[in-house]
Amino acid sequence: EYRYDPKEIEPRWQQVWADERTWEVSNDADGREKSYVLEMLPYPSGDLHVGHAKNYMVGDAVAHFQRRTGRRVLHPMGYDAFGLPAENHAIKTGVHPRVSTELAIKSFQEQFRSWGVSIDWSRELSTCEPEYYRWTQWIFLQLFHAGLAYRKAATVNWDPVEETVLANEQVIDGRGERSGALVEVRHLEQWFFRITDYADRLVDDLETIDWPENVKTMQRNWIGRSEGAEVSFRCEELGIDYPVFTTRPDTLFGATFFVMAPEHPDVERLAAGTGHEDEVREYVNRALTTDKESRGDAERTKTGVPLGRTVTNPVNGEQLPMFVADYVLMEYGTGAIMAVPGHDQRDYDFAQVFGLPVRRVVDGVNEDGDAEGLPFTGDGPLVNSHPDFDGLSKAEALEAIVRWLDREGKGQASTNYRLRDWLLSRQRYWGCPIPIVHCDTCGVVPVPEDQLPVILPDVEDYKPKGRSPLAAATDWVNTSCPRCGADARRETDTMDTFVDSSWYFLRYCDARNDEAAWDPEILKRWAPVDQYIGGVEHAILHLLYARFFVKALADLGHLDHQEPFSRLFTQGMVTKDGAKMSKSKGNVVSATGMVDTYGADTMRTYVLFIGPPEQDAEWSDTSVEGMHRFLSRLWRLGAQVADGPGRGADQPDPEALAEQDVELLRKAHWAIDKVTNDLAGRFGFNTAIAAVMELVNDVSRAVNERGDAEPQALRFALATAASLIFPFAPHASTDIYHRLTADRLWEQPWPAADSELLERDTVEVVFQVNGKVRDRATVPADASKDELEALAMASGKVGVHLDGKTVVKVIVVPGKLVNIAVRG
Ligand code: ANZ
Ligand code: ZN
């Protein structure tokens, strides 16, 4: 009796892989094509569920297929080890984040090992280790020297009770989400990366990479490039020009008022002496604590107050009343707009509230609009503007008016981006220290490279108190200025963890280099990542920041590729009971639990079998059992046939085989062809696994229903099944292959389909005797009449009805039936 025992099989092979360091790869070229396969850097925390595991199952299947099809594969692993969860845990329990992080990493290592994931552990890294963050700091300094890292005051939401800065999302109706305290606006010095310098390239180069279209669209929308013009409106009373950004300079003649953002620095000055100053001040204060999200909400009733001033419309000299209103944001364009209520919904709504004129300058009707069909936001010929422009189409008018503005010195074409510079400083403890010293004489001084890393010191209290907890580490904070030697203070903010994960994929290429972040020559042998795998939740920030880092580092001469990830795959979620797995819903399937019950191979194969991997798929406990039965059957057949007659797993000569044995060979080659096509450049894991199941079914039938199957054909078919299922179930397949051949499956080249033996299309035909169905057979669709007749005659079930009878006639309908008429 053969019993499939993953608990014995899996650790045994894992030990071989660990002892022999099977998945380690050297940086030296060896003639093979390189393939860099990478799953997104995990944040180490507790137990992974099967949904998390999917990411690594996808990556491992790709890595194995690439290796066995002849590539030199880099498949490393590391940990995104800085970050808030460990710090919040420390605030609650007093356990140092380093201690809890190390524990979580140990648990991750154990889990990856128990899944048999083929990782090059010699390159393992953790972003919280000085050996790593030394180079994060080095990169910061490169960007700093290039003017791509800078410090400036930024308005932040300050919660006076929690004594901390809140993200916009944490401010509800002007109050702190948790404290309920009225949030104050504070200006704090913050560190930024100048990612906006790269906005155009970040948009344009999306064309050069093989990423899912939806991810590219999200990046484009996030960067939000918008083409238009900057037009100057003059306030004659103050003698100041106020530029606006507009995407519709063709509607300039339809401007009837002018609006400034509450944060606009000139608001107070404009209102001064107009009698409106009090209501303006009150309005501005209220607006500052309203969250940006709801300010931008199109549904919200428009609010605002008049400034008591006017500006001149440069195209017709009209005086437009000025307002301050919170639907205009300071962060976009110039923080001021010309309002065209006839052709912009928000301006229209505002005009309705304040009884301002609405003027049509583009012909066309908005079906949902007012009696005039306004606001009309569509395309149409210009009207009511100027004889030079009336009648022009939108595109023509845009061009003509911008040309006119340019000539008159009142405006010019301009491109705007929604993208803001990346605010990277955090007033938190558990992050990479920013390698900067503040000196009263020299100002902001970078720490010299030979003094890196700036080590993160230990502190007693992790709670942020309006400043980083690091500020309390006075021994560390107090230092001397690297430039003049005077007493100075270290920067106490730490870096956003997205900085750590924006370059780790470069470090893997030369992970043990302690003289540089990487050797550019070595980097060249691996970069860029050929296949990146991760969740679509990282479609914007991580993937955008990493692209920015690579472009900036390329410009600074540290590497010479432009895009970090040539190809991206975003896997779908594993759901249970119709919902995303989460502790709060109690529907989590623990990966460790799965490995304990069924073994890693069952979990891995099942996770990739439940549907196309890019889609969400529902976990089913019953189907997992089905997968386990399939692997059991494959392993038992393998063990049984290996112990039976025959040797190795070479394919027998089909010429010397009976038709049914040839059919088995054909099935094996069909499976090779199918699985290869499903895996080469695609992610057809589920259909690939299904093909192997079909092959194993046929083998099983041949073993159990026929006593005379040719042993060598069985051996070949089973070795093929093992070989093809290996990227998913590496342990069981390796074990079977080893029993059959004494060879190591991972060292074997991927099998090649023999086109001569590729299974022909088959059909089922029935065999009748005197019109009664006595047997059925699956035959090649193009089987000849003679072949079919011979098959029918050879059938035992037909034979018993022919005994002692005389065959009078045989009718063959190819592809359908054989009817044998008998007498006697
Ligand atoms: C006049 C106009 C007429 C506009 C019209 C639109 C339609 P996108 O496409 O997103 O770039 N705008 C400019 N700066 C703004 C700010 N700081 N806060 C709020 N709105 C602002 O949007 C550009 C348009 O948004 C600009 O073009 C401007 O309104 C408004 F029929 O100018 B438009
Ligand atoms: Zn100094």
Average pLDDT over residues 793-807: 90
Atom of ligand 1 nearest to the CA of 335: 17
Alpha carbon nearest to ligand 1 atom 11, residue: 226
CA distances from 605 to 58, 62, 393, 625 (A): 10, 13, 59, 12
Testing ligand 1's pocket by substitution, the residue of 247, 347, 359 carrying the most ligand atoms inside 8 A of its CB is: 247
Atom of ligand 1 nearest to the CA of 328: 18
Question: What would the DSSP string read from start to end of 541-606?
Answer: HHHHHHHHHHHHHHHTTS---S-SBSBEEEPPPEEETTEE--GGGT---BHHHHHHHH-HHHHHHH
pLDDT of residue 497: 93
The end-to-end CA distance of the chain, in Å, is 49
Nearest to residue 376, comparing CAs of 363, 394, 395? 363
What are 791's strand-pairing partners?
A: none
Q: Are 661 and 709 in contact (CB under 8 A)?
A: yes
Cα–Cα distance between 395 and 446 in angstroms, integer? 50
Q: What percent of the chain has pLDDT over 70?
A: 99
Give the residues across from 617 on adjacent strands: 574
For ligand 2, the distance from its centroid to the CA atom of residue 433, given in whole angstroms, is: 20
Decide if 765 contacts 777 (C-beta within 8 A). yes
3-state secondary structure of 801: helix
Q: What is the mean pLDDT of residues 466-478?
A: 90
Q: What is the pLDDT of residues 413-451, one digit of tens each?
A: 999 999 989 989 988 899 999 999 999 999 999 999 999
260 by DSSP, 3-state: which?
Answer: strand
Q: What share of the chain is helix, strand, coil (3-state, %, to 5)?
A: 40, 20, 40
CA 489 / ligand 2 centre spacing (Å): 10
DSSP code string of 754-793? -GGGSPPPEEEEEEEETTEEEEEEEEETT--HHHHHHHHH
* Residues ≥6 apart with Cβ < 8 Å to 261: 324, 326, 328, 329, 330, 335, 336
State the pLDDT at residue 772: 95
Q: How many CA atoms lie within 13 A of 326 on its CB side?
A: 23
- Number of the ligand closest to the Cα of 348: 1
How far, CA to CA in Å, does 179 sit from each of 292, 412, 462?
20, 47, 19
Q: Give 234 Cα–ligand 1 centroid separation in angstroms.
A: 19
The average confidence (pLDDT) of the chain is: 94
- Assess whether pLDDT exceeds 60 at residue 759: no
List, for residues 200-230, the tens digit of each pLDDT value. Answer: 999 999 999 999 999 999 999 999 999 999 9
What are the angstrom distances between the C-alpha of 72 and each of 68, 69, 126, 726?
Answer: 9, 9, 24, 18
Q: Residue 36 is inside which H or E element, if any? A: strand 34-39
Beta bridge partners of 78: 125
26: exposed, middle or buried (Cβ count in 10 Å: 0-12, 13-18, 19+): exposed
Each residue's pLDDT tens digit, 703-717? 998 889 999 999 999
The predicted model scores a pTM of: 0.86
Ligand minimally distant from the alpha carbon of residue 445? 2
The predicted structure's pLDDT at residue 267 = 97
Distance 479 CA to ligand 2 centre (A): 11
CA–CA separation, 182 vs 302, rounded Å? 23
Above 90 in pLDDT, residue 158?
no
Mean pLDDT over residues 15-19, rounded? 98
- Band of the pLDDT at 171, cuts 50, 70, 90? confident
Q: Among 345-359, 573-587, 654-668, which is the least confidently predicted range?
A: 573-587
Q: Tens of pLDDT along 494-551? A: 999 999 999 999 999 999 999 999 999 999 999 999 999 999 989 988 999 999 999 9
- The CA distances from residue 563 to 203, 406, 507, in Å, are 12, 37, 15
> How many DSSP H helices and E strands does the chain contain?
26, 32
The H-assigned helical ranges of 116-227 are 130-145, 199-204, 213-223
Does the annotation flag 54 for ligand binding?
no
Ligand 1 binding site (Cβ under 6 Å of any ligand atom)? 226, 245-248, 251, 261, 328-329, 332-333, 335, 337-338, 340, 343-344, 416
Residue 252: the pLDDT is 98
Look at residue 168 in the predicted model and tell me its pLDDT.
65
High-pLDDT (> 90) share of the chain, %: 83
* 78 phi/psi in degrees, rounded to 5: -160, -170
Segment 251-266 shows an average pLDDT of 97
Q: Within 10 Å of residue 301's Cβ, how many Cβ atoms?
A: 8
pLDDT digits (tens, 9 = 90+) for 278-329: 999 999 999 987 777 778 788 889 999 999 999 999 999 999 999 999 999 9
- Can you name the residues that pair with 190 across neighbouring β-strands? 152
ipTM value greater than 0.85: yes
Nearest CA to ligand 1 atom 20: 328
Among the listed residues 145, 189, 132, 139, the one whose alpha carbon sits nearest the alpha carbon of residue 455: 132
Q: Which two tokens stand for residue 178?
A: 């948790």
Q: Give pLDDT, residue 422.
A: 92
Give residue 451 CA to ligand 2 midpoint distance, Å: 16
Number of the ligand closest to the Cα of 479: 2
